[in-house]
């Protein structure tokens, strides 16, 4: 009898899960940290879209802090745990940044979220966003959170970069 009750409880819990497996729920949204495969900004958004999501939008200081916590905890645990098991195994991603969905691809200087929600919060580094690069190969249309110079601040970057390959966070509404 106890086993049947446990199985029924698990089925009901699984049926009513607000987020898919491996996603984190916060404030009626689901977030997925992706360290592998790492990508540039364009590839990261394409991956999120395949998952039925978009690169994360951020609408408050609290959400910004939650996204940074998710990224840092995921990076610190899933990136390095294999080193304890297999000596000298390459980490998943040690990039000091994580891609988010803010961009100005449609109109230089006019930022929008990939999920179409309004831009009602930003957290730029002191000299960002930069609008002085008009050459298509130098334009900085994607955005990441940077964890080096100005810890946890936002920086606009070339979304097609072959150098800035790194992790990203997808977001979708919870069920």
Rg of the chain's alpha carbons, rounded to an integer? 18
Question: Is residue 75 in some structural domain?
Answer: yes
**Tens digit of pLDDT for each residue in 118-171?**
999 999 988 778 766 555 456 778 999 988 765 899 998 888 777 788 899 999
Contact present, 154 and 124 (Cβ < 8 Å): yes
Looking at residue 109, which CATH number applies to its domain? 3.10.100.10
Please indicate, yes or no, if residue 49 is contained in any of the structural domains. Answer: yes
Residues 91-130: pLDDT tens digits?
445 678 999 999 999 998 899 999 999 999 999 988 778 7
Q: Residue 150: what pLDDT?
A: 59
* 74 within domain boundaries: yes
Report the mean per-residue pLDDT for the chain. Answer: 80
What pTM does this model have? 0.78
Domain interval for residue 91:
21-173
Structural domain includes residue 1: no
Residue with tokens 């958004």: 45
Number of domains in the chain: 1
């Amino acid at each position: 009898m106890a086993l049947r009750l446990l199985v029924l409880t698990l089925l009901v819990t699984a049926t009513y899960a607000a987020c898919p497996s491996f996603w984190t729920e916060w404030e009626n949204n689901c977030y997925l940290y992706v360290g592998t495969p790492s990508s540039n900004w364009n590839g990261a958004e394409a991956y999120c879209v395949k998952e039925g999501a978009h690169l994360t939008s951020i609408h408050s200081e609290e959400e910004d802090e939650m996204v940074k916590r998710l990224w840092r905890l995921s990076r610190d645990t899933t990136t390095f745990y294999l080193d304890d098991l297999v000596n000298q195994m390459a980490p998943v991603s040690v990039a000091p940044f994580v891609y988010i969905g803010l961009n100005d691809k449609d109109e230089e200087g006019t930022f929008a979220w990939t999920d179409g929600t309004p831009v009602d919060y930003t957290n730029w580094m002191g000299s960002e966003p930069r609008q002085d690069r008009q050459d298509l190969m130098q334009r900085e249309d994607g955005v990441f959170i940077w964890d080096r110079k100005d810890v946890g601040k936002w920086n606009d970057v070339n979304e097609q970069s072959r150098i800035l390959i790194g992790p990203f966070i997808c977001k979708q509404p919870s069920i």
